[in-house]
């Protein structure tokens, strides 16, 4: 429910004296917590919003730059954008990174998202930014690879490096967005310590780097990498030529989850070429090592609009670092159902 707040800032002149102007009712911003964000926008809704924005002409290359601001106990990450399908809003995600928080029993990363009216720049809504990120990241991945996955029939075998919120979010979003055309036959989480992992219902778990994990990778149709690893998670020779690989864990130029040898074999899709060259370690390091050339990179927009149709007999690698436009597009989808 919306409530009213009152503006007391204006003044008026009455009989030679300055008096407060009549208070004008102004709509209070809508505040949506994590549960409300999830209730207002399903994973499929988020995938469709990302795809529709790109199909309508949104250009990720025109996104506003994001900024890291050092703080005494951590940093701010500021992610502004004015690029959405409707162009009715602008927004900014404010992320805090506090390395000391785990010792306090608090999350290391927290976020809030602010949506403003594009004309007046009045605050319209405040969303839980952590829930928004958990929703939009797998939505972007699935929007980028869905055309390839829907080009062939049959159930899919999914291998997922990691078992955190993003790993699980990708499983949920893939299953929902591909139905009823394709289903997930098996899901296996590959982790460093199986004793600390509780797989989701119906999912398996294996220790990464073991013969069993290698067998899972050889059979996998889709591999999701959602970890904090700084070096490659697997041997490129384990990945079949028809596989789709999604990498979302690394967003620094010197950290990667994917071996350069896979980049050399694959069609490499990125959100935006300039952004990938600056932030995507999987791409930056493969370029530096000569395994990949800049003209090999395919913008995600070209895949969604089917301007480019990757070959089905070589791996498809989607490398994401997260961009500000994705938050705004997803936040508008949340807002449209919550208002």
pTM of the model: 0.90
Confidence check: pLDDT of 197 > 90: no
User: What gap in Å lies between CA 51 and CA 170, rounded to an integer?
Assistant: 16
| Cα-based distances in Å from 58 to 49, 277, 320 | 12, 20, 17
Q: List pLDDT tens digits, range 3-57.
A: 334 344 444 343 444 445 444 345 789 999 999 999 999 999 999 999 999 999 9
Homologous superfamily of the 138-322 domain (CATH)? NAD(P)-binding Rossmann-like Domain (3.40.50.720)
User: Taking Cα atoms as reference points, which of 161, 128, 155, 136 lies closest to residue 250?
Assistant: 161
Asked if 30 and 2 touch (Cβ cutoff 8 Å), the reply is yes
User: Residue 79 has which token pair?
Assistant: 């992610």
pLDDT-derived band at 269, boundaries 50, 70, 90:
very high
Please determine whether the domains at 4-132+326-338 and 138-322 fall in the same fold group of CATH: no
Q: List pLDDT tens digits, range 309-336.
A: 999 999 999 999 999 999 999 999 999 9
Report domain extents, the chain.
Answer: 4-132+326-338, 138-322
pLDDT-derived band at 194, boundaries 50, 70, 90:
confident
Fold of the domain built from segment(s) 4-132+326-338: ornithine cyclodeaminase, domain 1 (3.30.1780)
Q: Is the dihedral of CA 70, 141, 296, 301 positive or negative?
A: negative
Sequence-distant (6+) residues with CB within 8 A of 301 are 54, 58, 59, 60, 307
Phi first, then psi: what are they for 8, rounded to 5°? -110, 15
| Cα-based distances in Å from 169 to 45, 106, 203, 226, 249 | 14, 21, 13, 10, 13
pLDDT of residue 24: 39
Beta bridge partners of 32: 127
């Amino acid at each position: 429910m919306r409530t009213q707040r009152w503006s007391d800032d204006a003044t008026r002149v009455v009989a030679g004296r300055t008096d407060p102007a009549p208070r004008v009712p102004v709509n209070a911003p809508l505040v949506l917590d994590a549960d409300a964000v999830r209730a207002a926008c399903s994973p499929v809704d988020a995938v469709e919003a990302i795809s529709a924005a790109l199909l309508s002409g949104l250009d990720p290359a025109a996104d506003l730059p994001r900024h890291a601001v050092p703080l005494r106990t951590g940093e701010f990450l500021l992610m502004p954008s004015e690029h959405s399908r409707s162009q009715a809003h602008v927004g900014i995600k404010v992320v805090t990174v506090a390395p000391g928080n785990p010792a306090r029993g608090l999350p290391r990363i927290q976020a809030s998202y602010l949506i403003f009216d594009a004309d007046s720049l009045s605050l319209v809504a405040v969303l839980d930014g952590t829930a928004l990120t958990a929703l939009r990241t797998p939505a972007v991945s699935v929007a980028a690879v869905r055309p390839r996955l829907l080009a062939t029939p049959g159930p899919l075998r999914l291998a997922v490096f990691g078992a955190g919120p993003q790993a699980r979010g990708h499983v949920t979003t893939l299953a929902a967005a591909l139905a009823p055309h394709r289903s997930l036959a098996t899901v296996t989480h590959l982790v460093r310590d199986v004793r600390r992992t509780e797989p989701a219902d119906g999912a398996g778990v294996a220790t990464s780097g073991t013969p069993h994990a290698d067998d899972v990778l050889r059979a996998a149709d889709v591999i999701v990498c959602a970890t904090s690893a700084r070096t490659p998670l697997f041997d490129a020779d384990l990945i079949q030529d028809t596989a789709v690989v999604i990498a979302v864990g690394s967003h620094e130029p010197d950290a990667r989850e994917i071996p350069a040898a896979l980049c050399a074999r694959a069609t490499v899709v990125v959100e935006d070429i300039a952004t990938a060259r600056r932030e995507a370690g999987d791409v930056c390091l493969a370029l530096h090592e000569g395994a990949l050339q800049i003209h090999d990179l395919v913008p995600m927009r070209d895949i969604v609009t089917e301007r480019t149709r990757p070959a089905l007999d070589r791996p498809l690698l989607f490398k994401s670092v997260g961009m500000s436009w994705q938050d705004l597009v997803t936040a508008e989808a949340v807002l449209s159902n919550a208002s």
